[in-house]
Amino acid sequence: LEEAAFQLQQIFRIDISIALNILGIESMRAGHCRVAFTCFKLAADRGYSKAQFNVGLCYEHGRGTEKDVQKAGFYYCQAASSRHPMAQYRYARYLLQHGPGSLWDRQHKAVALLEQAAMAGITEAQAYLGVFYMRGLQPQEKRGLKYLLLAANSGDAQSRYHVGVCYEQGLAVQQNLAEALRHYRQSAAAGNRQARERLQA
């Protein structure tokens, strides 16, 4: 594998870690999960954040290796520390669900990571924060709506539904049933079941 990566490196004059990661992606697409994992791991151990993220995915989903949530968290953490936005989102979710330490510390660190990922355009992070701020122990509705709108404008139908709820109930905005209907219709058109049910109600 390192020889193949070296040849790829010579052809395109790219870093060996990038070459290994590309080989890993192509191997995964071809269904060779073990080979892909090996490539990702070699590149990850050289400090390449995209490969670290891919190793995290492999461990999280058991692709090419045994499923191991702690190892997935470790590699997401490595990639997140290099500001890989999707790794920031995945590591934040890991912290909230499995991380060590007090809930407050984990939550504080996770929210900071989610905000970084959301500002980098990760729709999943925007949607998560939107709901988190709306439903948290100390709700921050305006902040929640800001993130829900970001996610909705990125095409997330569930977030569009939640924006409709905000307008229907007057959460963080003035109550506006016409605006709520507009958001419900857009969400339903994108396939959201809850929005369809709300429109029927």
Query: Are 67 and 95 in the same domain?
Result: yes
Predicted confidence (pLDDT) per residue in 149-174, tens digit: 999 999 999 999 999 999 999 999 99
Query: Are 128 and 115 in the same domain?
Result: no
Query: Are 86 and 146 in the same domain?
Result: no
Taking phi over 0 as left and psi of -120 to 50 as alpha, with beta for the rest, 191 belongs to left
What's residue 10's pLDDT? 61
Predicted confidence (pLDDT) per residue in 94-103, tens digit: 999 987 788 8
Predicted confidence (pLDDT) per residue in 28-51, tens digit: 999 999 999 999 999 999 999 999
Could you give the CA distance from residue 137 to residue 122 in angstroms, rounded to a whole number? 24
Query: Are 107 and 84 in the same domain?
Result: yes
Q: Which domain holds residue 38?
A: 1-120
Query: Are 28 and 104 in the same domain?
Result: yes
Could you give the CA distance from residue 95 to residue 15 in angstroms, rounded to a whole number? 32
Amino acid at 141: E
CATH number at residue 162: 1.25.40.10
pTM of the model: 0.84
* Residue after which a domain boundary falls, among 105, 120, 135: 120
Task: Please state the domain count of the chain.
Answer: 2
Per-residue tokens: 192: 């959201």
Query: Are 188 and 150 in the same domain?
Result: yes
Q: Please enumerate in sequence order all residues whose Cβ is within 8 A of that of 165, keeping only pairs 6 or more positions apart, or say none.
A: 171, 180, 198
Per-residue tokens: 5: 């990566």
Query: Are 106 and 141 in the same domain?
Result: no
Three-class SS state of 76: helix
Query: Are 72 and 128 in the same domain?
Result: no
Predicted confidence (pLDDT) per residue in 78-120, tens digit: 999 999 999 999 999 999 998 778 888 998 999 999 999 999 9
* Residue after which a domain boundary falls, among 89, 120, 151: 120
Residue 131 has pLDDT above 60, yes or no: yes
Query: Are 111 and 127 in the same domain?
Result: no
Query: Are 100 and 12 in the same domain?
Result: yes
Structure-derived torsion over alpha carbons of residues 97, 99, 111, 46, reported in degrees to the nearest 10: -120
Could you give the CA distance from residue 22 to residue 115 in angstroms, rounded to a whole number? 29
Nearest Cα neighbor of 64 from 98, 100, 18, 30 is 30
Query: Are 75 and 159 in the same domain?
Result: no
Three-class SS state of 156: coil
* Residue after which a domain boundary falls, among 120, 154, 177: 120
Query: Are 126 and 116 in the same domain?
Result: no
Per-residue tokens: 112: 């900071």
